Amino acid sequence: MQDLGDILDNRVLLVALVACLIAQLLKLIIELVKNRKLNFSVLVTAGGMPSSHAALVSALAAGVGQTIGWASSEFALATVFAIIVMYDAAGVRQAAGKQARILNQLIDELFHEHPEFNQARLKELLGHTPFQVIAGSALGIIIFLLAKLTY
């Protein structure tokens, strides 16, 4: 049971998770303002504005740097991890989403007489634009800085 207490006392982890949660909640608010409807599915889907992945890893890297040291190997590891996650979100997953959109269009156009092909559509919103990743990263650092003021 002490291990669970140690996890819950880990401020770096908690701040990173709070940054991720706030980013997800912002997606819900942005969706509400943009489309004038409450779409709770954005809370559990990938993609959208801001990137919760970027918020999480940016807050994590900043927390590790502040706690252990900016010159530490742990900070370097957290930073490289953050870069890989953000590159994946804006690069690889966004490209996969574009490919899914094109494949869905092909299915719609080529097989409109056969509706059974339209049942299993590919998920199109997988990644982020670079702006969404930058916004998520900035949000993560802001959440870290606000949390830093409290301890």
CA distance linking residue 84 with residue 102, whole number of Å: 26
Whether 34 shows a pLDDT value over 60: the answer reads yes
Look at residue 6 in the predicted model and tell me its pLDDT.
Answer: 82
Least confident residue range of 18-32, 46-60, 76-90, 99-113: 99-113
CA distance linking residue 13 with residue 3, whole number of Å: 14
Mean pLDDT of the chain: 84
CA distance linking residue 111 with residue 133, whole number of Å: 36
Look at residue 101 in the predicted model and tell me its pLDDT.
Answer: 74
Give the three-state DSSP class for 113: coil
**pTM of the model as a whole:** 0.78
CA distance linking residue 24 with residue 36, whole number of Å: 17
Whether 92 shows a pLDDT value over 80: the answer reads no
